[in-house]
Amino acid sequence: MAEVHAAHDEVLDRPVAVKMLLPRFHDDEQFVARFRREAQASASLNHPNIVGVYDTGSHDGLPFIVMELVRGRSLQQVLAHGGLTEERALEVVAEVCAALQYSHDRGLIHRDIKPGNILLADDGT
């Protein structure tokens, strides 16, 4: 549905990630509306295990989300290159559960939990 690119916020002088709708969905009003709802919902969350949203907007009518840039790898990448210790796996599961509980308590459902969408930051979070 979307792709994420690393970028630099020149105004605030910080690295960011920009999530943009894939071109094949640009003309699909339902996907555009869903993407905008995702942006609004994500912006309302403030949790250490959920990527922070800095801004949302549109360019030439196409929506985008500006987010915290997480330095690290996805769980999918980690699993493909040796995996995790049992202890670290339990930590990751606990952190994912905490993030899901936080968002569910606010009436939000992720809808796409998978190893490729779970980010393990270089700082251990």
Is 112 part of the annotated catalytic residue set? Answer: yes
pLDDT at 8: 97
Question: Are both 87 and 102 inside the same structural domain?
Answer: yes
Q: How far is CA 70 from CA 11, 107, 111, 118, in A?
A: 19, 25, 21, 11
pTM, full prediction: 0.86
Ramachandran category for residue 43: left, alpha or beta (phi over 0 → left; psi -120 to 50 → alpha)? alpha
Written as tens digits, the pLDDT of the chain (125 aa) is 789 999 999 999 999 999 998 888 888 899 889 888 888 989 999 999 999 999 998 888 788 999 999 999 999 999 999 999 999 999 999 999 999 999 999 999 888 899 999 999 998 87
Q: Number of folded domains in the chain? A: 2
Instruction: Quickly tell me which residue has 């210790």 as its tokens.
Output: 85
The last residue of a domain, from among 69, 86, 117 = 69
Q: What is the CATH number of the domain that holds 59?
A: 3.30.200.20
Catalytic position from the list 13, 112, 122, 123 = 112
Residues in the chain: 125
pLDDT at 117: 93
The last residue of a domain, from among 69, 86, 109 = 69
Instruction: Quickly tell me which residue has 């943009």 as its tokens.
Output: 20
The boundaries of the domain holding residue 27 are: 1-69
